[in-house]
Amino acid sequence: MVSSDDSKGDPVAPSTLPSTFNPPADSILWRPDFLLGAATAAYQIEGAAQEDGRLPSIWDTFSATPGKVLHGDTGEIACDHYHRWESDIDLLASLNVDAYRLSIAWPRVMDEAGRPNEAGLAFYRKLLQRLKGKGIRTSVTLYHWDLPQHLEDEGGWCNRATAYRFAEYADLVSRELAGLVDFWSTLNEPWCSAMLGYGTGHHAPGRSDLRAANAAMHHLLLGHGLALRALRRNDPASSKGIVVNVGRGTTDGPTRDDERAAELFELQHNDWVLDPLLRGQYPARLYEELWPGARPDIAEGDMAIIGAPLDFIGINYYFRTNVRSDGAGGYVEVPLADVERTQMGWEVYPDGLSDLLVAFDRRYPNLPPVYITENGMASDDAVIDGAVVDDQRIAFLNRHLAAVDEAVRAGVDVRGYYIWSFLDNFEWAFGYERRFGIVHVDYTTQQRTPKRSAELVRDFLARRRERG
């Protein structure tokens, strides 16, 4: 999920909070073929960082570096899902969800020479088999930010060779798990991997170099295209795609330069990723106006590999960013006052989701079917008298699902929505302080407590099944 370096102001709760989850009768949510699920990522929940042959990842290194993660938290234990996966899947099934999105930890399934680690592969095989046995559709992301550290030592995503190592990893995993996966996603949020990991240093591996970020982005997308070939070869019955995070840029400034600033924000946040995937080229304006001199080296044939057709695209959305001109041809963020915010300090702005979905549908005639693969919010949840009443999250889900409905009515082919997240978990640079789950996790006892939001989703899905 998206995780910026700092929050922007204190959380502001809405004045009224609906305490129910009851979509209108004509909502797409009532359609039995619309998937409503929940999502997690390996490093954020699994723990067992040094067990059964798992190699170190860049996030093991980064989180162990003083000052990089809030409170010095690491993913060493996380939600201990590696040991509790059976009961966790039983809990997930009790919520009646249609689908579950998880990621595979690259360092858990291969050694440094690229040979399979059977213990790691067995873990995911059993996990997926149990999900299938519960009737839950499986959505697997191959890369959710946990690059093996030995590959980073060789240059990481700035090294073109990493794209080919990623394709080898995709080939291995898709051969081993063929038939158990409904949806394969190659990458999660390449913008975050490239920009936060290599451009600003706020995420692992902690580099701060704009040229490195652009090289990393190109090699991430090249790896995506190469991996698609392996997935199609090894598991033809599954759907294949990629997950991208998108951001709505707006301005409250009065000038044309301020309007241009909002355009530039979306150019670098959205078009930087979507244009090569869906148009087969990077947006020229990006390097002409915003990042002159940062264009990556592109080999002949790369863009055709990157732009290979997709079966679906996953969209992750959380908030909008208000910007104004910086007076030098760029933009600067200017947070709005008196708006609702979450524990992360992110503005709650459902219209941004519908705005972007409609805009993408118009911009890209070849836009494949869309799944909202992450949407959710952090709140300072606590168990009180055995319950967690997360009214702001319930309101958040109601309003964002209404935004999806609006986009569908405008003609966008949206086929599913995954709540981020199933469990409270390790929130990257924010450690364990920020809680995104619809299930509360006590990190001392590992006790799981479904929040009110989880109970409402469970009850709605039970009603939908009764309606048929």
Q: What's the alpha-carbon Rg for the chain, to the nearest Å?
A: 21
SS3 of the chain: the string is CCCCCCCCCCCECCCCCCCCCCCCCCCHHHCCCCEEEEECCHHHHCCCCCCCCCCCEHHHHHHCCCCCCHHHCCCCCCCCHHHHHHHHHHHHHHCCCCEEEEECCHHHHECCCCCECHHHHHHHHHHHHHHHHCCCEEEEEEECCCCEHHHHCCCHHHCCHHHHHHHHHHHHHHHHCCCCCCEEEEEECHHHHHHHHHHCCCCCCCCCCHHHHHHHHHHHHHHHHHHHHHHHHHCCCCEEEEEEECCEEECCCCCHHHHHHHHHHHHHHHHHHHHHHHCCCCCHHHHHHHCCCCCCCCCCCHHHHHCCCCCEEEEECCCEEEEEECCCCCEEECCCCCCCECCCCCECCCHHHHHHHHHHHHHCCCCCCEEEEEECCCECCCCECCECCCHHHHHHHHHHHHHHHHHHHCCCCEEEEEEECCECCCCHHHCCCCECCCEEECCCCCCEEECHHHHHHHHHHHHHHHHC
Alpha carbons within 13 angstroms on the beta-carbon side of residue 116 total 14
| Phi, psi of 456, deg, nearest 5 | -70, -40
In the residue annotation, 168 being an active-site residue is answered as no
What is the spatial distance between Cα 49 and Cα 127, in angstroms, rounded to a whole number?
18
Cis before 4 (ω within 30): no
| Cβ neighbours for 403, distance < 8 A, ≥ 6 positions apart | 350, 351, 352, 353, 354
User: Tokens in use for 348?
Assistant: 């709650």
Which residue among the candidates 263, 374, 433, 455 is catalytic per the annotation?
374
Residue type present at position 312: F
Q: For the chain, how long is the longest CA-to-CA vector?
A: 63
Catalytic residues: 374
